[in-house]
Amino acid sequence: MEPNCRPHILKRIAADGFDITTVFIVFMALTYLLVNTPLAKTYNEHYSRYKAIEQKAVEQYGNDAEAISAALSGDEEYLDEVLAANLHGYILKAGAALAAEAVFLLIIPLANRHRSTLGRMMTGVMLFDERRQAKAAWHQALSRFLFAYLFDSLALYLFTGLLTFLLVPVLRLIQMLLNRKYKTIVDYMTGTMVIEKASYNGIN
């Protein structure tokens, strides 16, 4: 096996898939635990208010969808409640995702010398610094986490919600297939790549 050997694409997919699945499970658990927090209660209050306004519009206009839509689009109270509910819901999801991702995509890589997530450990791959030709430094692992969280999680949650957990691996796969080193945008931004751990014995 040559030094700096890229892993088989299936290993890369398996590693990312395991990590994202693990993060998703913890994310759902944290979301459930956050139900009784003040932020969640505020979200529920705004949600209940705008749903009540919607119900009144339905009672007033019956099955006339256009009239209901016109009435709601001009109701400032309704629009304010929808915005407040969406904002609080977004903060809840982003916060739960940050906590889950911080454990599995930041703390665990920082705690082991190969800067590997659980998924990478299981598939025998590791993070590599292309410029120094050595294992990735701690600041690169931190940078990867921050970039991935900002561009994969925060940005996508605004538009897709929980579907983010399905879109992220698909988007990463597309990025990997577009170059011969199977690198993602985050890899390019941090000067790293994922390699076979056994391909470079000088990394220790």
Provide the CB-side half-sphere exposure for 17 (13 A, CA).
Answer: 9
Task: Say what the pLDDT of residue 165 is.
Answer: 76
Q: How many helices (H) and strands (E) does the chain have?
A: 10, 3
Task: Say what the pLDDT of residue 167 is.
Answer: 81
Task: Say what the pLDDT of residue 201 is.
Answer: 67
Taking a C-beta distance cutoff of 8 angstroms, is the pair 184, 176 a contact?
A: yes
Within-domain flag for 3: no
Within-domain flag for 4: no
The SS3 call for residue 169 is helix
Within-domain flag for 49: yes
Q: How many domains does the chain have?
A: 1
Task: Say what the pLDDT of residue 199 is.
Answer: 84
Structure tokens, 106: 């930041």
Structure tokens, 100: 């889950």
Closest by CA position to 93, among listed 49, 136, 32, 142 = 32
Q: What is the pTM of this model?
A: 0.82
Q: Which regions in the chain score pLDDT beneath 50?
A: none
Burial of residue 141 (number of CB atoms within 10 Å: 0-12, 13-18, 19+): buried
Task: Say what the pLDDT of residue 160 is.
Answer: 66
Range of the domain at 128: 9-199
Structure tokens, 126: 């590791």
